[in-house]
Amino acid sequence: MKLFVGLGNPGQKYARNRHNIGFMALDRIAADHGFGPWKSKFQAEISEGRLGTEKVLLLKPQTYMNRSGQSVGEAMRFYKLESTDVVVFHDELDLAPGKLRVKAGGGHAGHNGLRSIHEHIGAAYDRVRLGIGHPGRKEMVSGYVLSDFAKSETSWLDDVLRGVSDGAPNLAQDEGGKFMNAVALRTAPPRSSKTAAPKADTPSTPAPDTEDDDRSAMQKLLDKFR
């Protein structure tokens, strides 16, 4: 069994925040893959289903971001899971908007949600880092992540979420490369090799008259210059 965790803050106020892209990713997976209804358990909203042959629990902590680890730890203990069975979807300042990376283990880089998860289950879990870009200055980060995605960002955001959903069965099978390929097909689809359209036919020069011409060579020359 896999535990997919999306990070965000609960409540409609935060629903479209950049910080909530992890919630958005799980919502898309649940909708596209026929998961069960969301229920309240483990201080979270959970939904159960299957991705390919793998049973998967989707979990959105309702503890607010900086206490996400409480919920994740509780669910892990209940299902007797290892930290390597956990995949966390979270916003990533160090990746440009629309970019995505899969990472196994590592530090929390100051992300409050990851910091809390580290405290409760350790660092040996997988992450899907969903790029949102950086506002440019450290003092602007808090306001930036807690602000909504702009309307102009709708297109790339939808592509990323759909790509995550497309590749989710691969992720559940620990096939990170195939997962990334599925995302790339949405976010950077290959250009079709189109051959140049044939040029329109140019008007052809009328065929010379093929009737018998009994004029002499000199007469033909004289007629040409008339």
Please give the positions annotated as active site: 19
What's the burial of 3, exposed, middle or buried (CB within 10 Å: 0-12/13-18/19+)? buried
Tell me the C-alpha to C-alpha distance, in Å, between residue 155 and each of 98, 149, 152, 183.
Answer: 9, 11, 7, 14
Tell me the C-alpha to C-alpha distance, in Å, between residue 188 and each of 17, 22, 102, 184, 194.
Answer: 24, 21, 17, 5, 17
Those residues whose C-beta lies under 8 Å from the C-beta of residue 215, and which sit 6 or more positions away, are 223
Tell me the C-alpha to C-alpha distance, in Å, between residue 57 and each of 5, 78, 116, 134, 169.
Answer: 8, 12, 20, 31, 13
